[in-house]
Structure 1
Amino acid sequence: MVIFRCDCNKRIGLGHVVRSIALAEEIEERGLETCFVGKIAVQWVRRYIKEIGIKYKEIERSESLVDIELLKYSDAIVVDGYHYSNQSIKNIPADKSIITYDGIDSWSPVNISLLIDPTPYKRENKVRSQILRKGLEYSPLRREIRKTKRNTQNNDILLISIGGTKKVELKKKLINAASGLNKFAKIYVAPDCDAIQNMIEKRYLPRVEVVKNPRDIYKIMSIATIAISAAGGQTIRELAYIGVPVVSVPLSDNHRLGRYLEKRDCGSCIKYKSKVTTNVIQDKLIGTLKNKSAQSKLCRDVMTPNRTIELAKEIIALCKQ
């Protein structure tokens, strides 16, 4: 059995769980059981994990790693998150394979079996690992994304995807700015949020619609002309894979990924910590829409879908050692 240790909530977003689902689906199909352990505070994600037949065990404290008793029945543990202590990692028995992701520099004394680093930019990695898989192509993509084809024929659709934050005021500002342009027949906002729904009804914004069913997000991505994103790692990689130009509004160190896509003509990026005004948002949207290169650019040549399957096979091989 492979344990996936990951959390999701309004603060950290869904990315850690979504890319774990991508790997778990491939591992399960190849006959090895998986179990998600964590604090998944988003109802539809919990429901989806149950629908696809993956076990889920909730723990009380999100900073703790995993029940040692549960580890006895596992062959490997995939740890996806940056808030686990070095000591909790050291408590994992030496005979268990540990698979983890980029950015966990405090784990340098721990022997990692497989390190997946999907950051496309240069960074020093202090974690010792038997196997290193680095590059944007090693960002696990779910099957629904890998099968999605873009269709933007006369759609004029904007997707505003700002998840994993409590930045309701930022969402409102983005909606107001986009609504002030007559370039979009429809503006979709995700994820669902009562405050945003109330704003739409109160101000009567018929072109704006909240995505109530998160399972519809990939369908909307496929028809979107352009998207605004908080530059969360998983969402922005999915948009880049489908080929949707992105206006990034970084809320943390995600600005590096936003700038990476901007340099490759896949969109534009609002400078990190700069003042996000209506004029700035509208200028970025108009500029990106005028950029014909960005309209036709996609990253499928870089983000090879087969890499997700390869990673799953590598994890299974580690379990058999």
Structure 2
Amino acid sequence: MDNRQIAFRVDASTKIGTGHFMRCFTLATELLKQGAKVCFVCRHILPPLAYLLKQHGIGLKQLPSPNTPLAITFDTDTYADWLGTNQLVDAEATIEVLSGTKTTWLIVDHYALDHRWETKLKACTEKIMVIDDLGNRKHGCDLLLDQNYYHDDINPYSDLVTNDCQLLIGPRYALLRPEFRQLRNQIKQRNHEVQRVLIFFGGVDTGDMTSIAIEALSMLKELSFMVDVVIGNTHPNKENIISICQQLGYHCHVQTNKMAELIAQADLCIGAGGSATWERCALGLPSITFVVAENQQELTKNAARACLIYAPTPSKNLVETIRLHFTALYNNALLREYISRKSMQLVDAEGALRVVKELNL
């Protein structure tokens, strides 16, 4: 396997967020353990994430800023502007940076790319894997992974891929880091009182839901609990959040590498939908979950239907929404225990190992 080269095409920015990058990074580190050579191909990447790749010996091939205008008819979908150019230009640039290396697998995690881009890249890789969770466009790939839960086992890709494309659907394939597997064996269902609360709205949180949640909890002076707040280094309100946490006696963690430990220690979470949902489920942490991006709508709805999360309908006054629903769940130990049990039954934190096995390296 030492000659196997795996390339990831993924971006991370304040607009895109960090979730796509982190699930690719999780899979990449598992592939490194198997002896594969791994590189990331990115047009947009936040500096802390570029440093993370360097720390783990993962190559980074940066795509240049294009001169071609975005408004070309090649792209018409909602997420086209995430790319910074059109698919044709991006495909040609990716082919150029991968030239000279016969890639075994090209793994693509990008809402702005579809079968047109993938078809052009087939010339420089043996196989293509796509990570997706929208089910809204055609793909020309050999393997497709969607780690989201679908109600009634619905397959959203039946008409979007070829018959010979292998599908890995559901949170049994959720790409969770090794520490989640390790801590899971020490976790029991949350069936005791709430002593520690976790606030986490993703690595970017452009809408600053973190500050809203902090304000809501600060009003609950009649309740007693510790609070951990997690934000990314590029959070738009970072300094103010750090200051408020100091005033309130909350613990603020900036760009932490101890996410699994914080989830394991908490009894209740307030956070965003998206891939972090499966991290919390794997460790049985009941969560009050809010949609903060359009692509989280379906995931959050299906997970709530399955009682894996608690997803209140937000009102215009989000502070009051959080305060009311937090109090309700805080005082409902049986519901917290039920959510904890259901989520741990569905997500076992072995997903990354299953995906590596399916790659047949």
| TM-aligned CA deviation for residue 294 of structure 1 | 4.3
State the distance in 2 between where 1:229 and 1:98 align.
33
Does residue 1:118 correspond to 2:143, yes or no?
no
1:176-199 CA distances to partner (integer Å, 9 max, x unpaired)? 111111333224232343624325
State the distance in 2 between where 1:166 and 1:309 align.
32
- Kindly indicate whether the alpha-carbon contact (under 8 Å) linking 2:199 and 2:270 is maintained by their aligned counterparts in 1: yes
Equivalent positions of 1:232-247 (< 5 A) are 232=274, 234-247=275-288
1:93 alignment partner in structure 2: 122
- Kindly indicate whether the alpha-carbon contact (under 8 Å) linking 1:4 and 1:36 is maintained by their aligned counterparts in 2: yes
2:304 alignment partner in structure 1: 262
| TM-aligned CA deviation for residue 97 of structure 1 | 0.5
Does residue 1:107 correspond to 2:138, yes or no?
yes
State the distance in 2 between where 1:96 and 1:195 align.
44
The unaligned stretches of length 5 or more in structure 2 are 66-81, 84-89
Does residue 1:249 correspond to 2:290, yes or no?
yes
2:207 alignment partner in structure 1: 167
Structure 1 residues 267 and 302: alpha-carbon distance in aligned structure 2, compared to 1, 3 A threshold: closer
- Kindly indicate whether the alpha-carbon contact (under 8 Å) linking 2:181 and 2:350 is maintained by their aligned counterparts in 1: no
Equivalent residue letter for 2:138:
W
State the distance in 1 between where 2:196 and 2:257 align.
18
- Kindly indicate whether the alpha-carbon contact (under 8 Å) linking 2:229 and 2:251 is maintained by their aligned counterparts in 1: yes
The unaligned stretches of length 5 or more in structure 1 are none
Does residue 1:141 correspond to 2:182, yes or no?
no
- Kindly indicate whether the alpha-carbon contact (under 8 Å) linking 2:230 and 2:255 is maintained by their aligned counterparts in 1: no
2:215 alignment partner in structure 1: 176
Structure 1 residues 96 and 210: alpha-carbon distance in aligned structure 2, compared to 1, 3 A threshold: same
* TM-align CA RMSD: 2.6
Does residue 1:67 correspond to 2:94, yes or no?
yes
State the distance in 1 between where 2:244 and 2:288 align.
27
State the distance in 2 between where 1:195 and 1:55 align.
31
1:127 alignment partner in structure 2: 161
Does residue 1:314 correspond to 2:358, yes or no?
yes
| TM-aligned CA deviation for residue 247 of structure 1 | 0.6
Which of these residues, 283, 304, 308, is aligned with residue 348 of structure 2? 304
DSSP-derived class of the 2:276 partner? helix
State the distance in 2 between where 1:85 and 1:100 align.
9
Equivalent positions of 1:14-93 (< 5 A) are 14-39=18-43, 41-61=45-65, 63=83, 64-65=90-91, 67-69=94-96, 70-73=98-101, 74-84=103-113, 86-93=115-122
State the distance in 2 between where 1:203 and 1:300 align.
31
State the distance in 2 between where 1:140 and 1:294 align.
27
| TM-aligned CA deviation for residue 71 of structure 1 | 4.8
DSSP-derived class of the 2:40 partner? strand
Q: State which drifts further: 181-190 or 10-19.
A: 181-190
Q: How many residues align?
A: 312
Structure 1 residues 60 and 36: alpha-carbon distance in aligned structure 2, compared to 1, 3 A threshold: same
| TM-aligned CA deviation for residue 237 of structure 1 | 0.9
State the distance in 2 between where 1:114 and 1:270 align.
35
Structure 1 residues 314 and 277: alpha-carbon distance in aligned structure 2, compared to 1, 3 A threshold: closer
DSSP-derived class of the 2:165 partner? strand
DSSP-derived class of the 1:91 partner? helix
| TM-aligned CA deviation for residue 167 of structure 1 | 0.7
DSSP-derived class of the 2:344 partner? coil
1:124-143 CA distances to partner (integer Å, 9 max, x unpaired)? 21222521111111111111
- Kindly indicate whether the alpha-carbon contact (under 8 Å) linking 2:180 and 2:349 is maintained by their aligned counterparts in 1: no
Structure 1 residues 268 and 33: alpha-carbon distance in aligned structure 2, compared to 1, 3 A threshold: same
- Kindly indicate whether the alpha-carbon contact (under 8 Å) linking 2:245 and 2:251 is maintained by their aligned counterparts in 1: no
- Kindly indicate whether the alpha-carbon contact (under 8 Å) linking 1:156 and 1:225 is maintained by their aligned counterparts in 2: yes
2:86 alignment partner in structure 1: none
- Kindly indicate whether the alpha-carbon contact (under 8 Å) linking 2:218 and 2:248 is maintained by their aligned counterparts in 1: no
Equivalent residue letter for 2:198:
L
Does residue 1:277 correspond to 2:335, yes or no?
no
TM-score by length of 2: 0.77
| TM-aligned CA deviation for residue 244 of structure 1 | 0.9
DSSP-derived class of the 1:147 partner? helix
- Kindly indicate whether the alpha-carbon contact (under 8 Å) linking 1:255 and 1:271 is maintained by their aligned counterparts in 2: no
TM-score by length of 1: 0.86
Q: What fraction of aligned residue pairs are identical, expressed as a percent?
A: 21
State the distance in 1 between where 2:143 and 2:241 align.
46
State the distance in 1 between where 2:272 and 2:36 align.
35
| TM-aligned CA deviation for residue 203 of structure 1 | 8.8
- Kindly indicate whether the alpha-carbon contact (under 8 Å) linking 2:135 and 2:156 is maintained by their aligned counterparts in 1: no
1:189 alignment partner in structure 2: 230
- Kindly indicate whether the alpha-carbon contact (under 8 Å) linking 1:22 and 1:142 is maintained by their aligned counterparts in 2: yes
